[in-house]
Amino acid sequence: MAEIVLAIGTSHGPMLSTPPDKWDLRVRADRADPAHPFRGRTYSFDELVALRATENLAEQNTLAERTARSARCALALNELARCFHEAKPDVVVIVGNDQREVFGPAITPALWVFGGEAVFDEPVSPERLAKMPPGISISSVAIKPAERATYPVHAPLARHLIEAFVGKGHDVTVSTEVPQRGSDGPTGMPHAFGFVYQRLMAGQVPPHVPIMLNTFYPPNQPRATRCVDLGLALREAVAAWPEDLRVVLIASGGLSHFVIDEAFDEALLDAARNGDLAWLRAIDEAQLQSGTSEVKNWLPVMAAASAEGMAMRVVDYVPCYRSEAGTGNAMGFVVWQPRRAH
């Protein structure tokens, strides 16, 4: 039967692929946004500066500090990549999200599983790069292949997972082609997946199954408890697969952003470490909005690894601030591995 030999949680934020001296390119957009979600409420940029004045965030946003934290992130990603390659997976299940990269507003599936034979990714066109906001175009190039690439999908396992999810009451959208946004032209896979393909797999993508959650866009965002349920169904379905397969699970996204909340992230990682699925199920939906919503990509992997009895190791947790308002991206890098028999 199939066995989960490794699980990984990784952030994929643009700052991971942006030189630290350019992290503040996004601050202009931060200032212009009148409603930053933070701890269940929304604030303007200036309100966040006042609210968080005692946290000394300016000191955590110097170029020297950014450079040090960027280096820590690079080391952590190298460690995740090492663990991934040492696991020698036969198949990988990646849980990510879409930010209007393949699905437009006309249709937004809550839960999508790709069931075809292969997906593709490709470089960002010069026309699309020219339309991207400051601070995004740099990172977009870093997580795309140099030329159009096709990556294999384990279609039989995908179908097995889909049937298992439906059997557990999950409504699944299925496609055998990668949807594309129409007038903007092809994009390939969303950046949640492109980051994994390039930064963890170095473009050498084994057979895999992409699972995509709608974390960002109301009103049909799966709630935390449904994401936990999905992870438990995923673990059961992998265990029921009759062939011997080494399976790796990867969660791509998070942690708290676009306003960093270290207290929330610490509580989340503690709950995952302790296998506290009740805490994970009870996360307030108001907390899981904007970029922090990508924590929902982690919940299925956390639940599956917990049910499997795997040992969790935080490779690093790096809050990467870009302004005195606390905007930025808290980067999390976690592995779960089977416990060794004593």
Count of domains for the chain: 1
- Helix, coil or strand: residue 162: helix
Report whether pLDDT(341) > 50.
Answer: no
State the Cα torsion 69-70-72-75 to the nearest 10°: 180
Please check whether residue 215 lies inside any domain of the structure. Answer: yes
Residue 148, helix vs strand vs coil: coil
Asked if residue 296 is part of any domain, the answer here is yes
For 266-317, what is each residue's pLDDT tens digit? 999 999 999 999 999 999 999 999 999 999 999 999 999 999 999 999 999 9
Domain assignment of residue 342, yes or no: no
The DSSP 8-state label assigned to residue 133 in this structure reads: P
Q: Is 91 a domain residue?
A: yes
Phi, psi (rounded to 5 degrees) for 50 = -70, -45
The model's pLDDT over 141-162, given as tens digits with 9 standing for 90+, comes to: 889 999 999 999 999 999 999 9
Residue 253: CATH number of its domain: 3.40.830.10
pTM as predicted: 0.96
Residue 315 belongs to what domain range?
A: 3-337
Residue 186 backbone dihedrals phi, psi, to 5 degrees: -60, 150
The residues near 316 (Cβ < 8 Å, ≥ 6 apart) are 72, 73, 75, 76, 331, 333
CA distances from 185 to 30, 109, 122 (A): 28, 20, 11
